[in-house]
Amino acid sequence: MKTKQRNVRFDERTSEQLDLLAQVTGKTASQVLRDLLMEGEVRVSTRVGDKTIQEALVRYHHDMNENYLHTNAKLERVETLISSFGERATNNQKVADLLYTVESHLIQIKQDLSQYRQQTDKEASDLVNLQR
């Protein structure tokens, strides 16, 4: 597209208004004038840039995965300890019942952790979709 340069004279008040529109919209004075001529209006864009959204989303997913893996590893370690303790306490029914209860709670915690991860992933995706 070929462009032409135009010189336009404004009074001080009009020039200040153009500068203010440029500042508010984050556009140059030329872009503001082009929008006014072509569209009849100047739109303010409050949208966060796609790159910024993607970077934040990558950090979020990385942190979430690290947290999930770390917590899951600790839960697996506790399960291993319970199994080891259970093997040693096979003759004591009260200890066996207690270990079964603890193991049931660990399974529930793992399920809750997985559900929490899925929920937060969905919420993050919904937030990103709102920005678009």
Question: How many domains are there within the chain?
Answer: 2
The residue ranking higher by pLDDT, 86 or 64, is 64
Give per-residue pLDDT as tens, 22-70: 777 778 888 888 888 888 776 665 555 666 776 777 778 778 878 888 8
Question: Among the residues of the chain, which ranges form H helices?
Answer: 12-25, 29-39, 50-88, 93-131
Considering the domain architecture, whether residues 23 and 80 belong to the same structural domain is answered as no
Decide if 90 is inside a domain. yes
Residue 92: the pLDDT is 76
Considering the domain architecture, whether residues 41 and 92 belong to the same structural domain is answered as no
Residue 79 clears pLDDT 70, i.e. is over it: yes
Considering the domain architecture, whether residues 61 and 125 belong to the same structural domain is answered as yes
User: What is the average pLDDT value for the chain, to the nearest integer?
Assistant: 78
Considering the domain architecture, whether residues 67 and 105 belong to the same structural domain is answered as yes
Structure token digits, residue 87:
């093997």
First to last CA, the chain: 29
Considering the domain architecture, whether residues 72 and 20 belong to the same structural domain is answered as no
Considering the domain architecture, whether residues 42 and 78 belong to the same structural domain is answered as no
Find the domain containing 23 and state its range. 7-46
In this prediction the pTM is 0.45
- What is d(CA 7, CA 1) in angstroms, rounded to the nearest whole number? 19
Considering the domain architecture, whether residues 77 and 122 belong to the same structural domain is answered as yes
